[in-house]
């Protein structure tokens, strides 16, 4: 066994103790009731793009707290109004939804695409939610002293509402909704897989929001913000860890019931392999993990092709 094989074998056996709070399932049951109780009020406006074979819309829908959330909804023009499989995409930390034409490759596979802003970050979506405590740079520590005010709760419920909107569209095949993203987006994709009954499959690339206590201690990810908060307010360390435990994919992975593909780079210092395998190893549904020994925090073209192949096969598209 060479050193690469040994490293992968060790990671596949990695099973840190769960940090599940006693009331986690009650918390999520209540949260999902709140999401479902509020109708997905939304509107979409046609927009022009330089791509003549793309139909594009600007979508605005409301978060649970009434914050207007923005997304692109794009379809291949040749499909007309026929029902298409839909992939819901979440971007990485500090990013945004970009431009509609960024998603043209998905249209070539026959997908409709819903590309969603994560609130407050680098897209067009703001945040109406107030901060009950001071924060450090970035968004991760907003409301971090309480599970009900935590930024991770807010962006997770936003993601769930985005998937609900996609499932309600008359030109979407609601039985063939895929969820995908990288880094922060990969973490949200896994959270949706664990909490929503609308998704049929998930691809989570180099996902964050996994084994977050380890990430706070060791990674260079956005969780350094949580670490800095705890360093600045050491009296709140235990509360920070407790709050994050409600949104740690590792603690929710057993709830995933759909096929999942995950990717990991063994040189990734942002979403470290230990964090990803800690969550992946606890998924009980059909799953596959693509391990790239020499990549860091990025996704290569080869893996994007593997993703397309996985989705075509899993959703029986062709």
Q: Can 117 be counted among the known catalytic residues?
A: no
Which of 83-114 are b and which e, b meaning 16 or more Cβ less than 10 Å from the residue's Cβ? Answer: ebbbbbbbbbbebbbeebeebbebbebbbbbb
Which residue out of 70, 91, 211, 297 is catalytically annotated? 297
Task: Evaluate whether 227 touches 221 at the Cβ level (below 8 Å).
Answer: no
Cα 96 from chain centre:
13
Closest Cα to residue 245, out of 1, 25, 7, 6? Answer: 25
Is 268 in the active site?
yes
Helix (H, G, I), strand (E, B) or coil at 188: helix
Candidates 183, 196, 222, 263; catalytic one: 183
Selecting among 117, 158, 164, 268, the annotated active-site residue is 268
The token duo for 98 is: 């970009």
Q: List Cβ neighbours of 214 (8 Å cut-off, separation of 6 or more).
A: 16, 272, 274, 275, 278
Sign of CA dihedral 158, 159, 163, 166: positive
Residue pair 107/308 in contact (Cβ under 8 Å)? The answer is: no
d(CA 76, CA 79): 6
Residues 6 or more apart whose CB falls under 8 angstroms from that of 134 comprise: none
Whether 81 is catalytic is: no
Instruction: Give the span between the Cα atoms of 60 and 71, in whole angstroms.
Output: 6
> Residue 263 is inside which H or E element, if any?
strand 260-265
> Is the CB of residue 66 less than 8 Å from the CB of residue 50?
no
CA atoms of 109 and 212, how far apart (whole Å): 35
Residues identified as active-site? 183, 268, 297
């Amino acid at each position: 066994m060479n050193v690469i094989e040994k490293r992968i074998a060790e990671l596949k056996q990695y099973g840190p103790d769960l940090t599940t709070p006693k009331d986690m399932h009650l918390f999520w049951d209540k949260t999902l009731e709140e999401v479902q109780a509020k109708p997905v009020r939304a509107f979409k406006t046609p927009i022009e793009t330089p791509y003549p074979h793309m139909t594009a819309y600007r979508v605005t829908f409301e978060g649970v707290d009434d914050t207007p959330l923005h997304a692109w909804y794009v379809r291949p023009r040749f499909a007309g109004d026929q029902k298409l499989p839909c992939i819901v995409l979440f971007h990485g930390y500090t990013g945004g939804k970009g431009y509609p034409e960024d998603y043209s490759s998905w249209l070539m596979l026959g997908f409709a695409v819903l590309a969603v802003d994560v609130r407050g970050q680098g897209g067009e979506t703001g945040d109406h939610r107030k901060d009950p405590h001071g924060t450090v740079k970035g968004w991760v520590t907003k409301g971090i002293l309480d599970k009900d005010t935590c930024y991770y709760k807010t962006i997770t419920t936003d993601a769930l509402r985005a998937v609900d909107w996609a499932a309600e569209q008359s030109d979407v095949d609601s039985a063939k909704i895929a969820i995908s993203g990288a880094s922060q987006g990969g973490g949200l994709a896994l959270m949706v897989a664990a909490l929503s009954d609308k998704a049929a499959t998930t691809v989570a690339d180099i996902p964050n929001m996994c084994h977050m206590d380890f990430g706070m201690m060791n990674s260079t990810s956005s969780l350094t913000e949580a670490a800095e908060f705890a360093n600045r307010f050491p009296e709140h360390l235990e509360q920070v860890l407790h709050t994050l435990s409600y949104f740690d994919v590792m603690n929710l992975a057993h709830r995933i019931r759909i096929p999942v593909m995950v990717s990991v780079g063994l040189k990734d210092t942002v979403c470290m392999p230990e964090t990803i395998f800690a969550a992946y190893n606890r998924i009980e549904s059909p799953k596959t993990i693509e391990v790239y020994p020499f990549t860091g925090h990025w996704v290569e073209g080869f893996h994007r092709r593997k993703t397309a192949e996985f989705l075509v096969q899993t959703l029986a598209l062709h």
